[in-house]
Chain A
Amino acid sequence: MPEDAASALLAYSAWLHAERPDVDLVGPAFATGTDLDLRTRRDLATLHRTGRTVIETTAEPDVVTVVSVTAHAASVRVVQDLTGIVLRGPDGRTVDHAPASRTAYLVLLVRNDGEPWKLAAIDEEGPA
Chain B
Amino acid sequence: MMRANRAPRSPVRRRIGAALSAASVAALTVVAPAAATGGGGHLGGDGDLEVGITVTTPGFDQPVDLDDDTRTPPVIWTVVDAGPARPGDLSGLCLTSAGGFGWRFWLIGRSPDGTILGERLICRPFDDPASPPPTPEPPVLPTIEEIWRSARLPVPTIGIDPPTRGITGLETRVWVRSATELALTVALDGYSVTARAVVVGYTARIDSGPVTRADRPGGPDTPLLRHRFEVKGPHRVAVGAVWRGTATFSGPGLLGPVTTSIGEAVIRVARTYPVREVRALLRP
B2–A75 touching, CB < 8 Å: no
B2–A123 touching, CB < 8 Å: no
Size category, A interface: 35 or more
CB distance from A106 to the nearest CB of B (A): 4
Q: Residues of A contacting B79 with CB < 8 Å? A: 33-34
Question: Which residue of B has the minimal Cβ distance to A32?
Answer: B81
Question: Which residue of A has the minimal Cβ distance to B6?
Answer: A124
**How far is it, in angstroms, between the C-alpha of A13 and the C-alpha of B9 when the chains are bound?**
23
B82 within 8 Å of A (CB atoms): yes
A69 within 8 Å of B (CB atoms): yes
Given that A68-B116, A125-B60 are known contacts, is A36 also in contact with B80, CB under 8 Å in the complex? no
Given that A77-B114, A80-B1 are known contacts, is A123 also in contact with B106, CB under 8 Å in the complex? no
**How far is it, in angstroms, between the C-alpha of A51 and the C-alpha of B59 when the chains are bound?**
37
A22 within 8 Å of B (CB atoms): no
Size category, B interface: 35 or more
B59–A125 touching, CB < 8 Å: yes
A sample of 16 more A-B contacts (CB under 8 A), given A103-B1, A126-B60, is A10-B1, A34-B81, A35-B5, A39-B3, A67-B113, A69-B116, A72-B106, A72-B119, A73-B116, A75-B115, A80-B1, A110-B106, A112-B82, A121-B78, A122-B4, A127-B62
A-B contact pairs, 25 of them (CB 8 A): A13-B1, A16-B2, A32-B83, A32-B85, A33-B80, A33-B132, A67-B113, A67-B114, A67-B116, A68-B114, A72-B108, A72-B119, A75-B116, A104-B61, A110-B108, A120-B80, A122-B4, A122-B5, A124-B6, A125-B7, A125-B59, A126-B7, A126-B61, A126-B62, A127-B62
Which of B's residues lie within 8 Å of A, judged by CB?
1-9, 11, 59-62, 76, 78-83, 85, 92, 105-106, 108, 110, 113-116, 118-119, 132, 135
